[in-house]
Amino acid sequence: MSTAPLPGNMACMALPSDWHAYRITAVELARLGGEAALSYRGERVVERKRDQSPVTEADRAVQDLIVRALRNRHADHAVVLEEHPEGGADGATADYCWIVDPIDGTRNFARGLRLFATSVALMHRGSPVAGAIFDASSGDVFSAAAGGGAFVGERPLCLADRPIGPDTTIAFSSFRGHEVPAGVRRLFDEILFRNCGSACLHQAWVAAGLIDAQYSPDTKLWDVAAGTLIVAEAGGCVTDTRGRSRWPTAGGPHEQTYDIAVGTPTAHRLLMERVRSGA
């Protein structure tokens, strides 16, 4: 993935036709988990993880539901799970590894807000090749296959670039524990900014043209595996926050962070200019 729009939704790349079939699997699993999560919405937080983020019984129940369905289809594939820290993330570099986030936006979910996502992605040797995100706020499923385009439902997504203006909207994740680059901080006075509490939704909304970019200094693999592929296949730009290629990953510990910047070509270029110049 590059800092430039990907030509022809990456159609020029010779990749296995299986990626489309895996996209369909990811769509089915994301919807299965997301609809199950809706039946638990508003459940209280049962405990906190090491990073103090909340986890509920619903997180684990939805994750188990997805994993059981996945094992019935692809028992030989590796799996990296948000709610299973003992598993590590090294499996992401395997030939086939599924990345599952049962509920992205648990704080919203636990308070009864229908503003969360379920994300399922397949990685092949460290790079996402299929993925889907269930948007609980709308019931839509955003998905993509490497070289096969991005979709909402089965409607193709093709990201339209637009100039920076008074309605330019960029999603920023929490900067708690992270210094905000001076140039990025100044953007707060120039553009509209949002944080819905779900990194997965930010990426899906970028791909759909609902917002223009996302800047996140501290996400995890399950927050970005599906969403970055969807943005790229819709024609957007995907890098880390310094403009370097985000994939492939070399794997690492379960809590390894992945900083990302995704957006339309113009909005992404603005972010990178501000990060580099500090102005």
How many separate domains does the chain show?
2
The model's confidence at residue 142, banded by pLDDT at 50, 70 and 90, is very high
**151 sits in which H/E element:** strand 149-152
Per-residue pLDDT at 84 exceeds 80: no
User: CA Rg, the chain, in Å?
Assistant: 17
The predicted structure's pLDDT at residue 278: 64
Residue 156 half-sphere exposure toward CB, CA atoms < 13 A: 9
Whether residue 130 is found in the same domain as residue 211: no
- CA–CA gap between residue 77 and residue 82 (Å, rounded): 17
Of 157, 178, 211, which one is at a domain's C-terminal end? 157
Whether residue 193 is found in the same domain as residue 106: no
pLDDT digits (tens, 9 = 90+) for 27-49: 999 999 999 999 987 666 667 76
Residue 247 half-sphere exposure toward CB, CA atoms < 13 A: 23
Per-residue pLDDT at 171 exceeds 50: yes
- CA–CA gap between residue 8 and residue 5 (Å, rounded): 9
Flag whether 4 is in a domain.
Answer: no
pLDDT digits (tens, 9 = 90+) for 213-230: 999 998 999 999 999 999
At 108, the amino acid letter reads N
Per-residue pLDDT at 143 exceeds 70: yes
Flag whether 174 is in a domain.
Answer: yes
Flag whether 3 is in a domain.
Answer: no
Per-residue pLDDT at 60 exceeds 80: yes
The model's confidence at residue 136, banded by pLDDT at 50, 70 and 90, is very high
Sheet order of strands, 97-104 included:
78-81, 97-104, 117-124, 127-135, 141-145, 149-152, 155-157
The model's confidence at residue 174, banded by pLDDT at 50, 70 and 90, is confident
| CA quadruple 276, 279, 3, 144: dihedral sign | positive
**Full residue range of the structural domain in which residue 183 is found:** 169-277
* Angle (nearest 5°) at CA 257 between 87 and 190: 150
Per-residue pLDDT at 5 exceeds 70: no
Q: Are 215 and 261 in contact (CB under 8 A)?
A: yes
- CA–CA gap between residue 24 and residue 217 (Å, rounded): 30
What is the average per-residue pLDDT within 185-194?
90
Flag whether 163 is in a domain.
Answer: no
- CA–CA gap between residue 202 and residue 117 (Å, rounded): 10
